[in-house]
Structures are given as structure tokens and as C-alpha cells.
Chain A
Amino acid sequence: MAQSIPKGSVAVVAGTKKGVFVFHSKDRRRWSLSGPYMLGASTYHAILDPRDGRTLYGAAPHTDEPWGPVLYRGRIGQGLTPTKSAPRFKEDSGLAVKRIWHIEPSPADDPETVYAGVEPAALFRSDDRGDTWEDFDALNYHPTRKEWQPGNGGLCLHSVLVDPRDPDHLVVGISAVGTFESRDGGERWTTENRGVRADFLPTKYPEMGQCVHHLAWDSAGDGSIFQQNHCGTYHRGPGGGKWTEITEGLPSDFGFPIAVNPHRKGTAYVVPLEGMGRVPPGRQLAVWSTTDRGKRWRKNAKGLPGPQAYAGVLREGLATDQEDPVGVYVGTSTGQLFASRDEGAAWSLITASLPTIHSVSAAEVR
């Protein structure tokens, strides 16, 4: 059933274990629910396409896990249906797509193109909004692929960065494999893990095998990148090269998501968790922020659960909108969705009764 969502609203899209829930608000104080969509389908990632503010994408199995992965697409406020095809490996590859982990719209001047990161780790591109797909041979059948080992969450390609200045510049993150970068549209890829720890391997700084958890462009707009890793938080400067560890000042070197303020360079948000148990340090859920590329960190816990909180936040569970001051949103493994309309300083509950939240994204409805 179609549901009207006023233009100019901010939509917060929660991809959950049981479908997609869209919360929308004109003032970011009072929220209304649209949906759920794809009810029952365990949705790893759902987004409102920021390029048009209308198209909603959801990555999930076809109704339920046994039937394999599909990409759902629809107009916000209306239903979502599977696109004409899902990403798939070449038939003679011996590989089969198990799950779509991430959907990444290309920059604004490329309105039909979306990327998909999947499990087992691979990157696909569609130039017709998800109806047909091509895979990136040079990455998906990379000579090192036989050495790729799955992390605890699976062998998943979960982070896809497309450079708004140059769409041929791509950066991807693969759990327990590391970061790869291409500057020629995906023809050649290099491992980009220098300076990133892999404490769980015999060699602390190997070329590959680091467990990247999430990547985000620094809004400096110069190609700088933030990374949340299994072993610390990092920043890499505009020229590429070695990552700088910026974990100092955080209560843990473990966490899953990282998000940025789109208006303030060097500004990022993370949710540290204890590595053992994946629970908040001190049992107080907090979003930590930096405004200087990680030189200093600030704890933001006002309005968030604690001191007896055991909620986790998954890699897609943290997002920012495009408003100024920026809104920050966090969804938990225990189904709570929180909003901050003051850049993370104070938080209020949107809802406490969702299924496990896999992903959160936010964009303006147009």
C-alpha cells in the first residue's frame, strides 16, 4: 500500500532481520513509520538513493534465505520488488553469490549506476539500477583469491567507495582480507593495508589479511579515508599510502561501523565495542566522535542506553544525513534506533522495538 512521505523529510532506513522499516520526519524530532517492506526477509543493507531521494534499495534473500539473494528496488512510500537479476559469478567460476552485503550508488552524475558488494567477496556493477550486472574480473578472480579466508561474519565485501571526483577510483573492504584500491575503473587492484595491524596473524603487519570492518570517505573531498578495523581505527591521507592509526583516545580498538560528517572534514563517528563479547565498554552505549582526523575523541552517550547496556552495533548500523547540523543515527542489534540532530551530542529514541538492525542509512526525500 502506498504511503505518502512529504518531500523535504529526512528518511532513516533501517534494514533489519525481518525487513525494511522507513522512519521519516520534517523536523527530526517526531518520526513516522513507513513500511515495513519485504517483511520477513533478512535485509543486510537498505538505502534511500541520495541521488534522487526516491529510490529505495534493499539487499535480502528472495522472501527467505533458501531462495538465494536478490536486490529489491522500489519507490519510497511504495513497495519494493526484486530487480530483473541479482549479481552472479561466471558459471565456470565455481563460485556462487550467497548474500549481498552492501549497495553503493555511484556519484550523482552517474544516476543509473549502483555497485554491490557480496559474499563470497566480490564486487559487481549495474548500469541500469540493478537489473543487469557485470563483475570485476580483476578483483573477483584476483590472483590472491585462493589465500582469502573468511572472517567470523563470512568472506564478505562490505565496503564500496566510489570517488565523487573520479568514478574510476574505487576502494573496497573485505573482511579478513583487507582493503583493495583501483584507480582505473577496476582493471587493476592493489592491496592497501600498510600500517594496519592484524594482531590475530603471525605477522602483525602483513600485506593482506587485515580485518577491515568498514570504510568511509573523509568529507575533506581529497580522497582521504577513515577505516574501522578489527584491530583499531585508521585514517589514510589524500595521496594514499600508509594508514595512520588513530585509536588512541578511544576505549577500545574494536568496533564495526564508521560514518562521517558530510560537511566537516576530518570528522567521523565510531561505536567502540569490547572485542570479547561485542558489548559496549562499561556497558554504556556511546558514539564517539572526532573533528580532527582522530587526534582527539569525544564520548557521546547522552540519551543512549547504559550503564547496563549490552547492545551491539553492526558495520552498517551507523549513518549520517546531509542536514546542517548533521543528523547521526545508530541502530542496535537489540532493535533500538536512535537519532541525534546535533552532530551526536545528544540522542533520542526513534523506536525500541525493531528486529535486529543490520543497517541504517539516511537521506532527504525528494
Chain B
Amino acid sequence: MASRTSPEELARSAILVRIPPALRTYTGGQDEVVLEASDLGSLVDRLETAFPGIRDRIVDETGHRREYVNLFVNDELARSPLREVRLEPGDVVHILPSVAGG
């Protein structure tokens, strides 16, 4: 069952992370989770701590984001190295694969 987050909880300090269907096997079916993180790199670390194995789906062993995995902060695609992308309380991070097909 997905957990829903109250606006009050988000407003305190947290980042809301929307989990795509392919990764919900790691989150026990949750389609969104709430974490505290100051940048995307630390957010991925926190995800891994909470849901072991999920990091390898987002970044490879060199620490680089997988080529066809996109991270959006709110509506903006993060193009910089993950640790250079700052997060603010209340941000929403979307983890999305590039669209498949031609």
C-alpha cells in the first residue's frame, strides 16, 4: 500500500520522492517516499539505506546516473552531477526512465 504524505510533513524539511513502478519492488510497493537530503547524491544514498539495492538501478558503480534514468527536481530535469544538484525542503523528486519506443 502506498504511503501518502501530508503537506505539513513535507513543509517541515523533507523531500518527496516519487517512485516509478519498476522500482516499487524495492520500496515494498510504495509509490512515494519522504526523505531528508540536501542534494540529489545524498538523496540516492538515503534511498539506498532505506531500500537496499535501489541505488544500483539509478546509478552505476562509477556513481554516474544511468544513461536513460532521469531525475527531475520539481519540473526541472537535473543535468549536473548528482551532488551538485541542491535540494530544498518541499522539493519533489521524480525518478523516471526515458520514454521507450520510436
Binding site for B on A (CB under 8 A): 62-68, 82, 84-86, 88-91, 93-97
Contact of A68 among B25, B60, B100 (CB under 8 A): B60
> Which of A62, A82, A97 counts the most B-chain CB atoms under 10 A from its CB?
A62
Contact of B97 among A67, A85, A86, A90 (CB under 8 A): A67
Least Cβ distance of B61 to chain A in Å? 4
Report whether B62 and A64 are in contact in the complex, using a CB–CB cutoff of 8 Å.
Answer: no
Least Cβ distance of B98 to chain A in Å? 6
Report whether A88 and B61 are in contact in the complex, using a CB–CB cutoff of 8 Å.
Answer: yes
Known: A85-B56, A95-B61. 16 other contacts (CB 8 A): A65-B68, A66-B67, A66-B68, A66-B98, A67-B22, A67-B57, A68-B56, A68-B66, A86-B56, A88-B60, A91-B63, A93-B61, A93-B62, A94-B62, A96-B64, A97-B60
Least Cβ distance of A116 to chain B in Å? 14
21 residue pairs A–B, Cβ–Cβ below 8 Å: A62-B57, A64-B22, A64-B97, A64-B100, A66-B68, A66-B97, A67-B22, A67-B57, A68-B57, A68-B60, A68-B66, A82-B53, A85-B56, A88-B56, A88-B61, A90-B61, A91-B61, A91-B63, A95-B61, A96-B60, A96-B62
B85 within 8 A of A: no
Binding site for A on B (CB under 8 A): 22-23, 25, 53, 56-57, 60-64, 66-69, 97-98, 100
Residues of chain A with a CB closer than 8 A to B100's CB: 64-65
Least Cβ distance of A190 to chain B in Å? 28
Residues of chain B with a CB closer than 8 A to A86's CB: 56
Contact of A66 among B25, B62, B66 (CB under 8 A): B66
> Which of A63, A91, A94, A97 counts the most B-chain CB atoms under 10 A from its CB?
A63
Residues of chain A with a CB closer than 8 A to B98's CB: 66
Expressed in whole angstroms, the Cα–Cα distance for A63 and B66 within the complex equals 14
